[in-house]
Structure 1
């Protein structure tokens, strides 16, 4: 491993103390930091004898040499000593980002493109395909350190609020608890904008995030690291968890490339005990010219909850067959299994021959599956009607005793029926394996818009399957990678309340128009299956752009003259990072290439000021920019529940 001059010098000094700062011949990082922080006389004296250390970590003030312990510790923590440090492996094991454990990371990955692309100068594959940008244009994905953030995650002002119905599209000045909501803006900041209005109120979150793939027809940033993608997901999953209800669940579509890493991350955020399961979905029918001659034709659904194991996270009402018999004239009943998976040997109290009291017929226990009742409890269950025998009824098939469940017992049970064998394994898995491939989603988009706007739109049938087993009517469904609005379209048709977030401009050319077609009664996708006839409404609003507008102008500039004009406007009105030396940038700006000019301007924009915060709404210079209708909408959106 390459070591800098400073690293070599520090290691030489530390090894000079024998084993004091070593553990298994590796630098004991925590011990070094402890002694430096406590101004250990012996260690600092030796450090100050080194010209290298003296040059890099000391200053002379009023004739005295000052050792910059804070600077030394900062460099010592951040540099390559970390990789050799004994404490890295003795303390914990986990995912890391920039040599810091991911669950301790405080960075924010702010901007990111839609789905499988990485944020270039354009923000989507659709933009790149329009030949507006060349493949070598700069990547503008932004990482912000926590210490650079102060007001970034505060709730934002919302503008251009409209309500859409089948008949009208009009400005709206208020929003009710039951309104469906579509937001345009950065999804991380939009999620934080929602956190006070919808805390722990969302029953289902479905997301189809960027897969972080490479290859195929997409243009990828080869320097985009796994740790950056994981930090990006971490930022959003943490705030999403705050919105999820106690019995809610989150379903994440993901490829096998990142699925296992994402599970480790999700375990940290939601807790290992909140992991519900991983389900495969077939995406296509095979492909030639693939690595290792294996066509990976599946992606995955990673499922977590905030609930407990006994909570009804997955379940639904099932149409059951009930019998009406003379022995229970007022109580229809159904059959259920009367055995357990444990063997007769493992449950000796359940190892007995069951005898039908009416006919005397004997039913020996299955050695591999014991009875669910014991010798002592059999009679009480039988007297209560809880056990039946096939030889009691001419219509009954089978040759084993059964557990009798009365309809009134089912109706009294508010918890959805556990459906592992009845629904999840059979119908759900079979549908995931054959009925919800990507091509079906693409065809549905083509039918709506007569063009291929999204190459990997999920089919409506997939979202219906998930909504079916996780929600009831009027529950809230959230998708903050909204894309073509498949989730919202299905939720609308199924009578669920929904929230969608999308930052791309196609929200107004694809997503919203699709929902307009839905409320007017379009008959694609699942419409026939749910007998959809149209109706309903949704509210649309945008996070009020501030510096965000300049970012779009920078990204969209096609030549240096255009970009220079944008820069001049920014100098008059934009908010810059306080550390930027604008005079130096202005002097050297014309010497940079177009790509480097764009990188520089994106870098210096103050990311805390991408959108206007709600706290600024009454400032005179901000209030003049907001219509009276939008001002009233914000007051309605952010008012306390007690005020409603």
Structure 2
């Protein structure tokens, strides 16, 4: 019960194309594993003799290889449900995962591979403050300073200005690289990722994303004008904007959704000549692009001859096309009928919306001040309380969801740096406004905010209050919005370590190893680990029924049936009755069978009564 070993999967893909480049080797436990002969593979992929490493254009940093290894390495962890912190646990489609996002992303690989429509993240900006993503190659600042000899055992600083050393950017890249690689695999083919960042790491992040997502899938750098007033305390210039990098999984497929026209845009359309086709906007007939058929004289209705387009420009259409537009009353000469002509563009004929632009002003999507006010109001904070330093405004994330998701589809939104929970709040608000079915997955590390709470606890509280606020069916809002969520927590595997070599195993050890499940784990803990391993959606409905005195869990009707009785109560009669439900999958706990005969016969019973059922025993 481990997450998938992505390294072995990648090697299997290489083996299909270059079988001679893959060999077998033994790991530290003596098990046979596949390995790549990289020198031979390098030669297979080159049309000249390769004798050693060649210079090439690439992004590299100290620790890059270890970071890539981290992304592929399997982990022995699971997700444990927490009903008491959840809302509408049995029916909601939303998930809140508490834990390190690297672990969580690995655990989600089997279930949500290629299923996420949009990812938004607001990672640490690497401003010199501590960032706490303590995997093998990205340590908390104090720990790194001690390990690298920049602090002594008493905590005294030995080296000044550590931000200027080479590891300052390398640590951040090593933290981001494995997470982005795992995130890419979760995206649908027509999916996209939006990443907030500032000047400090935007160049490195752009290069890293070019490598992971492909430079050809870069869509745009969006400028968010985040400050609603200049920052007069700035040392140099007031930094009024942040960046949002936008990448598509496949730029040949991904297209942005159109934004609705604002009232101000619609008001620009007039109908001074009472045209039956409705309001129109005047477009210039002249353009600067060269057009060989775009130079000809035009005579106005008042009789004035215009010798040609303005200097340095060309008419947009040929003489023949102009005459067609004139006949169709699509040319406007002004109230005097003697002006230079323009083309009427009717509101009824233009697209239903406008193409998104790369500049997002705070008046449209909110400012940092708006974001802090929203958060403080929801959490009922006192004036001056610094709850969360860098929240994002709800309107900003709503804009992202508006151009990247379809309201009528049950599309998945992922944020694995959930922070204050703005993305979940924005999904609630968007669904309330347009009746959408967007569902979300939030991931947040339980990083300490104070002696009393963590960021994940604050995030959960914010999401709960946002859902309560919207469930009041505010005027203009859609009813029946799913404002619930299941809380799942990253933890060690439910399976006890009972593997030992014969020479170190005593008879007492054998007796202690009868049960391979940790004693503190519940039936629901086991259910969610089985769902993870089988790739079953973690948000499917769960119903607990009693059959012959035993608790049986049914997931999404009969998609999965599970009996985790640990007291030897599973006999042939129970198995036969459970088979009548004909579940797609069924799982039992090894210690739950009454005797060996019941365990041996379970597959035969299902093969007879429900041959399509996949049977598993843990």
Task: Call closer, same or farther: CA 1:546–1:476 in 2, change over 3 Å.
Answer: closer
Which among 67, 79, 90 is matched to residue 107 of structure 1? Answer: 67
1:486 deviates by: 1.1
Q: Where does 1:226-265 land on structure 2 (aligned, <5 Å)? A: 226-265=169-208
1:124-144 deviation per Cα after TM superposition (whole angstroms, max 9, x unaligned): xxxxxxxxxxxxxxxxxxx94
1:249 deviates by: 2.8
Alignment of 1:499 with 2:433, yes or no, is: no
Task: Call closer, same or farther: CA 1:216–1:157 in 2, change over 3 Å.
Answer: closer
1:472 deviates by: 3.9
1 CA distance for matches of 2:214 and 2:328? 42
Name the SS for the 1:348 alignment partner. coil
Name the SS for the 1:260 alignment partner. helix
Q: Where does 1:110-259 land on structure 2 (aligned, <5 Å)? A: 144=70, 149=73, 151-152=74-75, 156-161=78-83, 164=86, 169=87, 171-172=89-90, 179-214=93-128, 220=141, 222=162, 224-259=167-202
Alignment of 1:286 with 2:231, yes or no, is: yes
Task: Call closer, same or farther: CA 1:324–1:543 in 2, change over 3 Å.
Answer: same
Alignment of 1:639 with 2:561, yes or no, is: no
Which among 411, 417, 421 is matched to residue 354 of structure 2? Answer: 417
Q: Which residue of 2 aligns with 1:582?
A: none
Q: Which residue of 2 aligns with 1:489?
A: 425
Name the SS for the 1:489 alignment partner. helix
Q: Which residue of 2 aligns with 1:443?
A: 373
1:479 deviates by: 1.2
Name the SS for the 2:485 alignment partner. strand
Task: Call closer, same or farther: CA 1:335–1:189 in 2, change over 3 Å.
Answer: same
Q: Which residue of 1 aligns with 2:212?
A: 269
Structure 1 residues without counterparts, runs of 5 or longer: 1-72, 75-85, 109-142, 549-572, 579-618
1:483 deviates by: 1.1
Name the SS for the 2:171 alignment partner. helix
1:80-106 deviation per Cα after TM superposition (whole angstroms, max 9, x unaligned): xxxxxx976x5302221238xx5xx36
Whether the 8 Å CA contact 2:190–2:254 is kept in 1: the answer is yes
2 CA distance for matches of 1:502 and 1:407? 46
1:250 deviates by: 1.9
1:259 deviates by: 0.7
Q: Which residue of 1 aligns with 2:523?
A: 628
Whether the 8 Å CA contact 1:522–1:534 is kept in 2: the answer is no
2 CA distance for matches of 1:217 and 1:242? 25
Whether the 8 Å CA contact 2:417–2:443 is kept in 1: the answer is yes
Which among 277, 280, 295 is matched to residue 351 of structure 1? Answer: 295
Corresponding residue pairs, total: 429
2 CA distance for matches of 1:537 and 1:217? 30
Which among 373, 377, 392 is matched to residue 317 of structure 2? Answer: 373
1 CA distance for matches of 2:441 and 2:309? 53
Whether the 8 Å CA contact 1:314–1:469 is kept in 2: the answer is yes
Whether the 8 Å CA contact 2:101–2:444 is kept in 1: the answer is yes
1 CA distance for matches of 2:233 and 2:388? 22
Whether the 8 Å CA contact 2:210–2:218 is kept in 1: the answer is yes
Whether the 8 Å CA contact 1:254–1:300 is kept in 2: the answer is yes
1:485-510 deviation per Cα after TM superposition (whole angstroms, max 9, x unaligned): 01111221111432211121635521
Calculate the aligned-residue CA RMSD, in Å.
Answer: 4.8
Whether the 8 Å CA contact 1:107–1:145 is kept in 2: the answer is yes
Whether the 8 Å CA contact 1:521–1:535 is kept in 2: the answer is no
Name the SS for the 2:112 alignment partner. coil
More helix by share: 1
1:256 deviates by: 0.7
Return the TM-score normalized by structure 1: 0.55
Which among 277, 280, 298 is matched to residue 334 of structure 1? Answer: 280
Q: Which residue of 1 aligns with 2:58?
A: 94
1:402 deviates by: 1.5
Name the SS for the 1:521 alignment partner. helix
Task: Call closer, same or farther: CA 1:340–1:312 in 2, change over 3 Å.
Answer: farther
Q: Which residue of 1 aligns with 2:390?
A: 456
1:538-563 deviation per Cα after TM superposition (whole angstroms, max 9, x unaligned): 22232441289xxxxxxxxxxxxxxx
1:205-253 deviation per Cα after TM superposition (whole angstroms, max 9, x unaligned): 2211011121699994547432232132121222222233344332211
Name the SS for the 2:400 alignment partner. helix
1:456 deviates by: 1.7
Task: Call closer, same or farther: CA 1:621–1:171 in 2, change over 3 Å.
Answer: farther
Alignment of 1:520 with 2:415, yes or no, is: no
